[in-house]
Structure 1
Amino acid sequence: MIDIHCHILPSLDDGPLTIEDAIEMARIAGEEGITDIVATPHVKENIYPVGAISEKTHALQHEIDRNNIPVNIHQGGEIFYLHHASLDVLNRFSINQTRYVLIEFPPTHLPTIYETVVFNITINGYAPIIAHPERNLSIIKNPVLIHDLKKKGALIQLTAGSLTGYFGRDVQICSEYLMQKKWVHLIASDAHSADYRPPALQNAFDRAKKLGGEHYAGMLFNDNPRKILNNEPV
């Protein structure tokens, strides 16, 4: 499996504090059957020095290899929607230097400019992936908003824990509805540590198979993430 949304880089955002913690996250991921992880630190301001993400990604990969953990780390970022108009930000924090960018809206509501955000990203040649929309209060109340995002060109990424009930029943119900509508393109861990929200996908994969069948689950956890890493159409 491929995890395209994971806060695994140490001492950067609200992910692991130390390199040892990050290595343990990679170890858990490997045991879960995850072969590739996209490191997606929060990008709420342009605060990271040029090259900082790349350096931390390469340093972590070196330690993972040294510990014989069969997991590959790829560079990315979780971009807060207010920075969608910055081509520099989109370029620097795209997933694996592809045209795909992970976009985060606030959890409390869907901003009135959400369609403009998606349009501006696509018109500049990038493909927006909306991170964990099933945890957004506006979408929980009205999941059909996801269809609007899809029509504008956005891809939809659910969090694994949403399907398994980690974030509560309302989020789980919303996730199941989106799965049944086949409006989901990707499922990722959004992991932050080895203990609190670890990089675990297997239980969600099993749940996805029950909701949408084995072929659809394979698309969400393997096929579509691989296409994104390879900069191929989804």
Structure 2
Amino acid sequence: MNEMTDGHIVSSYNKDLNHLHQLVIQIKDLACRQVREAARSLEDEDVELARAVIVSDREIDALDIKADEEIIRLIAKRQPVARDLREIMTVAKIVGDLERIGDQARRLARLTIRFYDGDVITPNRHLLDDLNKMADFVTRMVEDSVNAFDDLDLNRAMDVIRRDSIVSNDFRSALRRLSTFIMEDSRSVGHMVDVVLGLRALERIGGHAKNISRYVVFLVKGKDVRHKDLEAVEAEIISTLK
């Protein structure tokens, strides 16, 4: 837990803020578990696990609503300003991105059901190779971005932002490999379309991790860098150190 609120004059306010932080960690754990299990359901052809991932998304939705309610109550009760308000705004934005990560995990799980539920033609296993690799990579990005928030670790946040370019490159490379595969076996075109949707979902998860890391920059430095490229973000941080 970070120490941004340590020593606040109202100890109950500290308690409320710390509870919000714990909600963020709880939602992150659920979202990352969903992504991992959705990817494993594809790898193991486990339709029941995929269904469990889809159902568990309701837990994240419920926590999303709970976080919103806590934030509204805290603002109404405490009327935070300056640093405290910035922290509450950051929590609200992070929770929103984590909820969307759960949505993307659900989309990935639906591929398992589409590919393996009932009497269907299953895809060539090689079509799925990049899905599992990307799932592992973007899940670690999500974990690192939230840990950066919890520790107020600007270096870790910047590292996650930089890794987003790797996700984009991996996505394009995966598309090229799929195109080559389809040229060799055109019967897999239908499955390829679904795999591309899965890769796109994983790319978006990486994008949400990047968003969370940008919020960390906002929280620590007071600079809104949501719509700036990497070089501009780095320049903003350097300017605040001068």
Name the TM-score, length of structure 2 as normaliser. Answer: 0.28
Give the strand-richer structure, 1 or 2.
Answer: 1
Q: Which has the larger radius of gyration?
A: 2
Give the helix-richer structure, 1 or 2.
Answer: 2
Q: Pick 1 or 2: higher relative contact order, CA cutoff 8 A, min separation 6.
A: 2
